[in-house]
Chains A and B, each alone.
Chain A
Amino acid sequence: MGCFVMKISKKLQQIPPSGIREFFELVIGTKGVISLGVGEPDFVTPWGICESSIFSIEKGYTSYTSNKGLYELRLQIARSLKKRYALSYDPEREILITAGVSEALDIAMRTLLDHGDKVLIQVPYYVSYYPVSSLAGGVPVFIDTRKTGFRLTPALLEKHISKDVKAIILNYPANPTGVSYSKKELTALSRVFLRNNIVVVSEEIYGDLTYDFPHTPISTLKGMKGKTLYLNGFSKSFAMTGWRVGFACGPEEIIAGMTKIHQYTMLCAPIMGQIGAIEALSGSKRYLVEMKSEYKRRREFILGRLAEIGLECRRPEGAFYVFPSIRNTGMGDIEFAKRLLKEKKVAVVPGSAFGLKGNDHIRISYASRMSDLREACLRIEDFLKNNAR
């Protein structure tokens, strides 16, 4: 086995293996765990979407689609963006359907970056941002946001921008912190982007799960549409993670470039998923309101409980995560997670999985039913009492 290490590309070798793989194996191998470590909705896909996809399979829709994705789906996406945000994208030239937003991000990086191009990534980041940038030849420039409550600010941006920065990966509401930005904040950030001529790759997969103010795609702001690649998908808002359908909207040239890679690698997103996605956009959306208000209630519950338990936590504006500090427990994040799993059978994700230095935060997902959240909070409370310093 050893001799093959030499054959693995240097590009891949320079990406360190995930430090918490071992912890993940531990979680998966432990029985009876209440897991607050899940990054997907606990709801199953609404039945109307499932049913229309099943029907299409019965009718024989089991083939490839055009590389860009079913025209009907691109059209529905264009219409829905127009209706919700007054955003206009041409379904022929400015929209590409991908196998989940993860693929969109990957091919976006490969489309934009030349060897040595710098990419701004805020820390903590969603786990794939660093590897996909690096594999595309880019050099990540990390922006540590610990001192600004995990928020990007114009000052922080200016500090990290240089001539050879080509793009930034923006993510709001963010995984793992739940941070999102008001229109005013985004406008301030966009001025920096425009002044410095940076492409903004904006991953807004949790956009529909914004609780305190309306979500604003950054591409709706003045001057930004031509500089922004808007990435979104169906996984989170429609509880469709396993269907693998995402999309990218942006300038024609970038979409054409991405389509080139997509057509030689993925070919197309699965047709069953695309048909389900058409139904998601065109059918009844009653459940969206229900899911969102349920998440919102759970957010209040978990924030209240964490305060009672004594874990300091900033208030997230969106997504379904809270990101409390565990500094006052005296444990490092991996130790905390491992012991919590072993002693109380509750799983959380150590913050260092998201590139955070300091090892003093954990991610708790509240995409779990209330009874589990209730029980898990009791167990965490108990755990901290037993391990009080």
Chain B
Amino acid sequence: MKEILEILEKDARSTPEEIAQILKKSVNSVKKDIKKLERDGVIIKYKAVLNKELIKDEQRAVRALIEVRIAPQRGHGFDRIAERIYRFPEVVSCYLLSGTYDLLLVVEGRDIHAVSSFVSGRLATLDNVRGTVTHFLLKKYKEDGDILKRVERNKRIAISF
């Protein structure tokens, strides 16, 4: 199972036939394993990794990292208020952290105004939110292990011993 995940995480388009060949298993058992991983929620979905630096997506042109300080709730800690926040579609990622603030959000919007109005209108006004600090993202170099630069051509000579 672990190896199937490693292979799919590298290339989600690997077919069950190919994985079966690599792992010397039957195609059916690989298919069964993948189904199980999907059912258990280990594999959430399959998608393409895009270099958004190269795409003009007007609805998501601006990204900001937002530090959020929160007053935790008795009995629920941070989870309930976090859920209130991460359900907004503007919030792309949401993490609970140790340190000087509690939640780190990645928020996307059409422009700076859209992001600021989300922060001031929706986020900062929530009951348990004590304060926010917004950092607008200027450039992305690397994301989730992928370097966001056009892949350079392989520099090996075409044939060697």
Contacts and interface: CB of A to CB of B under 8 A. Distances in A.
Given A301-B18, A370-B11, A38 B160 contact: yes
22 contacts: A24-B159, A27-B159, A28-B157, A28-B158, A33-B158, A35-B158, A37-B158, A37-B159, A37-B160, A38-B156, A39-B160, A42-B154, A126-B161, A128-B161, A300-B21, A300-B24, A301-B18, A304-B21, A347-B158, A349-B159, A370-B14, A371-B11
B23 to A, nearest CB: 7
A222 interface: no
Main secondary structure of the interface of B (DSSP, over half): loop
Could you say which interface size class chain A belongs to?
20 to 34
Contacts of B21: 300-301, 304-305
Contact of A40 (B7, B14, B24, B160): B160
Kindly name the residue among B11, B156, B161 whose own CB sees the greatest number of chain A CB atoms within 10 A.
B161
A374 B23 CA distance: 16
Contacts of A37: 158-160
B158 A27 contact: yes
Contacts of B159: 24, 27-28, 35, 37-38, 347, 349
Contacts of A374: 18
B22 interface: yes
Nearest to B15: A374
Interface string B1-40: 0000011000100100010011110000000000000000
A73 B22 CA distance: 37
B59 to A, nearest CB: 31
Contacts of A370: 11, 14
A292 to B, nearest CB: 13
Interface string B82-126: 000000000000000000000000000000000000000000000
Contact of A300 (B22, B158, B160): B22
A28 B160 CA distance: 10
Contacts of B18: 301, 374
A298 B158 CA distance: 19
Kindly name the residue among A40, A128, A175 whose own CB sees the greatest number of chain B CB atoms within 10 A.
A40
A35 B156 CA distance: 10
A24 B158 CA distance: 9
A82 interface: no
B159 to A, nearest CB: 4
A354 to B, nearest CB: 8
Contacts of B161: 39, 126-128, 175, 349, 353
Contacts of B160: 37-40
